[in-house]
Amino acid sequence: MVTIRAQQLSVRLGRHPALSGVTLDLRPGQLVGIIGPNGAGKSTLIRTMLGLVKADSGTVSIDDGLVSRLSRQQIARRIAYLPQGQTLHWPLLVERLVALGRMPHLGPLSRLSPQDEALVDAALARADVLHLKGRIATELSGGERARVLLARALAVGAPALIADEPLAALDPGHQIDVMDLLKSEARVGSLVVTVLHDLSMAVRYCDRLLLMDKGKLIADGAALDVLTEQSLARVYGISARIETDGDWPLILPTGRIRT
């Protein structure tokens, strides 16, 4: 199992302060949602935790090792990463694309073993794209491609998963399927971190929410403690109703607050 810790993490992208003094402790068995408006620092935070962006100050550790001292392969074996908005450049078969998820476990010039092939098929099934085997990935719809890329992340078999906007381009049914899948991964002990814009999905599924704004961690806690009418007004600039009477909480934006 994997634990990720950040201490006073700050990042500048050019002249822009993308993260400012972020401290957090992410532990196994949680589905953690990162939310906030566009430009809040959500993607920068996860990319810095993965060592893809260098921090200007502060530290990130995976278990007891500083990310800055871990190799890309060591990080990739521990944390599977699903970036947002990936573009496919090569006309690979779906199963070959998903098989790339096994690369952190393979040596140079190594071939997939029968066990690797079985893990690829299992990942295809879990992402509901097993029926797409034999298709060319670049010929898929946006939603199909998004689920295939999720399957590639699942094929890594890492004890942690970070997914940046995994619901983008998905229809409502597949959005529910993906959130159910992420929740089930957390229930069996994985650490799952996901960036979300759908606040109702976030409050329904996530064990914990991190609310970001202007590079700062504004709130960290249980969903309904973080998502309040006051925090939505302050961070998103919206008025909203929070419905908790039914089976699932709902966040209903009702208007833009003009100042």
Instruction: Give residue 188's pLDDT.
Output: 93
Which segments of the chain does DSSP mark as H helices, in order?
42-49, 72-78, 94-99, 114-126, 142-155, 172-187, 199-205, 223-226, 229-231
Instruction: Give residue 87's pLDDT.
Output: 78
Q: Which residues of 166-190 are buried (b: 16+ CB within 10 A; e: fewer)?
A: bbbbbeeebbebbbebbeebbeeeb
CA-based Rg of the chain, rounded to a whole angstrom? 19
Pairing type for strands 208-213 and 191-195 reads unpaired
Judge whether 206 and 200 are in contact, CB under 8 Å.
no
Terminal Cα-to-Cα distance of the chain (whole angstroms): 46
Rounded CA gap, 13 and 16, in Å? 5
Length of the chain: 259
Residue 110 DSSP code: P
Which domains are assigned to the chain? 4-89+158-256 (3.40.50.300)
Judge whether 42 and 34 are in contact, CB under 8 Å.
yes
Given CA atoms 126, 128, 130, 132 in this order, what sign does their dihedral have?
A: negative
Rounded CA gap, 81 and 54, in Å? 17
Amino acid in the structure at residue 108: P
Secondary structure string (H, E, C) spanning 64-84: CEEHHHCCHHHHHHHEEEECC
Between 142-155 and 172-187, two packed helices, what is the crossing angle to 10 degrees? 10
Model confidence, pTM:
0.93
| pLDDT tens sequence for the chain (259 residues) | 899 999 999 999 988 899 999 999 999 999 999 999 999 999 999 999 999 999 999 999 999 899 999 999 999 999 999 998 777 888 999 999 999 999 999 877 778 899 999 999 999 999 999 999 999 999 998 889 999 999 999 999 999 999 999 998 899 999 999 999 999 999 999 999 999 999 999 999 999 999 999 999 999 999 999 999 999 999 999 999 998 877 888 899 999 998 6
Instruction: Give residue 199's pLDDT.
Output: 94
Q: Which residues pair with 9 in a beta bridge?
A: 22
Pairing type for strands 191-195 and 31-35 reads parallel
Instruction: Give residue 4's pLDDT.
Output: 97
Instruction: Give residue 220's pLDDT.
Output: 97
